[in-house]
Amino acid sequence: MQYIQMGDQPRLLPTPLPVSSIAYLPDNFHNHRTTHTRIDFGIELASEAEFAEYTIDGQPFRKRFPWCSTRMPGHVYRMATKKPWDVLVFTFDASRLEALRKFGLEPALPGWEFRMTSEISDRISRLFLLMDSCRVPGNADQIDFISLEILRLTLLCRRDETTSPEEILIHRIASALAVRILEKPDLDSLIRKHNLSRRTFFRHWKRYYDVSPWDFVMKKRIETASRLLQETEMRICEIADTLHFVDSSYFCRQFKRMTGQSPNEFRHSLRPGTVLLLAK
């Protein structure tokens, strides 16, 4: 579990939508009734259950993962999902309701399903890095901005009702791989968790992604490594260990394979505004 309280974090710039708190809850599970004094948006990432089941004021709803849940004052919520799920929760003060609506976010909706895209998973990975250093000047502002971006992207990527069950499963597994790169994701375990055989998984994966699952995860790790090289003083060996590389030499080889530069060359060549372009 990761949790940060943002209410007391100083912002360098004024914002109409400061995030009050952010929590990442892996394997979250509860079925009790809840009422809320603030506004919550939950990025419900993945579960062994095919559907999330829940009620709002006694009215039942059902959504496929991934989806965005909503909570606001004045209503009674109850989850009925049969298995644990991973969720990233953004909380806003109730006084921000009209500001949220002006940004296209309506917490009175019963949630919406969305397609997990590389843009969304990249921003989630970026958010996790910022959460670890939220007291660094300027990072609270970035967290506000990226949180809003993630929520609005889920709206722009609402799932088409004609999306096939196979595509939903593959994107769900890709989502789990992307957000768990700091936890050394286990692909075989994820495949079994979603009741697929390896053969079926790889057959469908090739339809939606032009790189292997291994290179998909490696790309996410290298993107995260580039941010750590740019924004921290971590040593190369520390970054390699954080991202679960076998050793520093292997990390350096993979970094150069995907970027054309060694980690040290990349760090020394950095200038403000530099954007990392991964080699194809």
Confidence band, pLDDT 50/70/90 cuts, at residue 178: confident
Which amino acid is located at 266 in the chain? F
Pick the CATH number of 2-156 from 3.40.50, 1.10.357, 1.20.120, 2.60.120: 2.60.120
Q: Which residues contact 156 (CB under 8 A, 6 or more apart)?
A: none
Find out whether 118 and 153 touch, Cβ atoms under 8 Å: no
Question: 28 or 186, which is more confident?
Answer: 28
**11-25, 239-253, 262-276: least confident range:** 262-276
What's the pLDDT score for residue 276? Answer: 47
**What is the tens place of the pLDDT at every residue in 74-124?**
999 999 998 999 999 999 999 999 999 988 899 988 999 998 888 898 899
> Which residues in the chain belong to E strands, given as ranges?
2-5, 21-28, 33-34, 39-47, 51-56, 59-64, 67-71, 77-79, 85-92, 112-113
**What is the tens place of the pLDDT at every residue in 190-247?**
888 888 889 999 988 988 888 899 888 898 889 889 888 988 888 999 999 988 898 9
What's the pLDDT score for residue 253? Answer: 94
Which amino acid is located at 99 in the chain? A
Six token digits for residue 128: 């996790």
Find out whether 105 and 41 touch, Cβ atoms under 8 Å: yes
What's the pLDDT score for residue 211? Answer: 87
* Residue boundaries of the structural domains of the chain: 2-156
Average pLDDT over residues 247-273: 87
Q: Which residues contact 58 (CB under 8 A, 6 or more apart)?
A: 76
